[in-house]
Amino acid sequence: MERFNSDLFLTTTQVAELLSVHPSTVKRWCNEGDLEVDKTDGGHRRIHLRDVLSLSSERSIPTLLDAFSPYEAHVWTALHEAVDEGDFRRVRALAMGWLTRGHLRRLGALFLELGRHPGVSFPRFCDEAVRGFMHDVGETWRSGRLRVGEEHMASEALTEVLLRLRDAGPPDESEDRPVAVVGSMEGDRHNLGGLCVRLLLERQGWDVYFVGADVPVEDFAAIQRSRNAQLVCISFAPPNTAADMKRAVRILGEFYQGAHPYTLVFGGEVAEPPFLDDLDLPFQAFGTFASLTEFGQALDEGLGTETRTVDVGEVA
């Protein structure tokens, strides 16, 4: 990997953003000779990243790139492409390079930076960065170029990133939050998809009971009932098949009680639901989602909360 792209020039706005100062400060530094300036053919200022980083270290101005030395230029470009162009390939490639070299802290720091970036929505971060990178990890493992232990390290690193993103905000303890139960299907040890769903719901003000991976279907029903949850979200991945999903829906349907209505949602590697046509679905609503982005849109439109839970006392 090329260690430092010596040709990376920034605009004054980008420098201001990187150093958290006003653009007029950057212009002043340029005019006073503190920053060396190149001009484009159109007369716009361009400043070398190396010069910006020298200035920031001389003046002890912290930047988000400090944690990535000597890969500052790579990280800057990767973040820029992801945030401004919606292209996450460079983030994924950098992360894969660091995983194979054992640079787990850098890998985590890159994902944290992206996850906290106001220019990337949380669902998009999960779909494009987390899922995209873990997909690469799966393919690299399948082709024999990555060890199982390295795949586990990647899962652990991203779990830690997601939990740190969760801790970022103050806990919402208000009493009247809608309640959800989130976890992965029985027989499924994949945990990260459910964790993404948990965080999205919490960010949207839900009180989430996260039950983790490989949870018996009956337990989803029991916890839904005991917590009077309006929403049950089940993450679904191989080795489970469409037949397993159908079985789960049937069992949840049998346990369903009208006094505790809820919306049932499956997400992940889900098959299209026509195969459920012959089932009687008693749920308030039922949905399957292949991405967190689609699920986020459905939540924005009121999925799970459009009908409030009936008070048990009101039902004979």
By CB under 6 A, name the binding residues for ligand B12: 126-127, 130-131, 134-135, 137-139, 142, 151-152, 155, 187-194, 196-197, 233, 235, 237-239, 265-268, 289, 291-292, 295
**Min. distance of Cβ 151 from ligand B12 in angstroms?**
6
Q: Choose between 29 and 289: whose C-beta lies nearer to ligand B12.
A: 289
Q: Choose between 48 and 247: whose C-beta lies nearer to ligand B12.
A: 247
Q: In what order do the strands lie in the sheet with 9-10?
A: 9-10, 45-48, 38-39
Instruction: Encode 31-45: b = buried (16+ Cβ within 10 Å), e = exposed.
Output: eeeebebeeeeeeeb
**Min. distance of Cβ 313 from ligand B12 in angstroms?**
30
**Min. distance of Cβ 287 from ligand B12 in angstroms?**
8
Q: Max CA-CA distance within the chain?
A: 80
From 89, 90, 188, 107, select the one nearest 153 (Cα to Cα): 107
**Min. distance of Cβ 162 from ligand B12 in angstroms?**
9
Q: Choose between 73 and 215: whose C-beta lies nearer to ligand B12.
A: 215
Indicate the residue whose CB is closest to ligand B12. Answer: 267
> In sequence order, which residues have a C-beta less than 8 Å from that of residue 234 and are 6 or more positions away?
182, 183, 184, 185, 220, 248, 264, 265, 266, 267
**Min. distance of Cβ 165 from ligand B12 in angstroms?**
13
Q: In what order do the strands lie in the sheet with 207-215?
A: 207-215, 179-185, 231-236, 263-268, 285-289
Q: Choose between 105 and 189: whose C-beta lies nearer to ligand B12.
A: 189
At residue 84, the 3 state secondary structure works out as helix
Provide the token pair at 125: 């971060």
From 288, 270, 293, 266, select the one nearest 129 (Cα to Cα): 293
Cis peptide, bond prior to residue 178, ω within 30 of zero: no
Residue with tokens 């980008």: 14
Q: Choose between 26 and 197: whose C-beta lies nearer to ligand B12.
A: 197
Q: Choose between 6 and 241: whose C-beta lies nearer to ligand B12.
A: 241
DSSP 314: G
**Min. distance of Cβ 235 from ligand B12 in angstroms?**
3
Let me know: does 46 contact 11? Beta carbons within 8 Å: yes
**Min. distance of Cβ 234 from ligand B12 in angstroms?**
6
> With the C-alpha atoms ordered 27, 32, 37, 41, is the resulting torsion angle positive or negative?
positive
Q: Choose between 47 and 185: whose C-beta lies nearer to ligand B12.
A: 185
Q: Choose between 79 and 196: whose C-beta lies nearer to ligand B12.
A: 196
Q: CB atoms < 10 A from the CB of 288, how many?
A: 19
**Min. distance of Cβ 295 from ligand B12 in angstroms?**
4
Let me know: does 88 contact 129? Beta carbons within 8 Å: yes
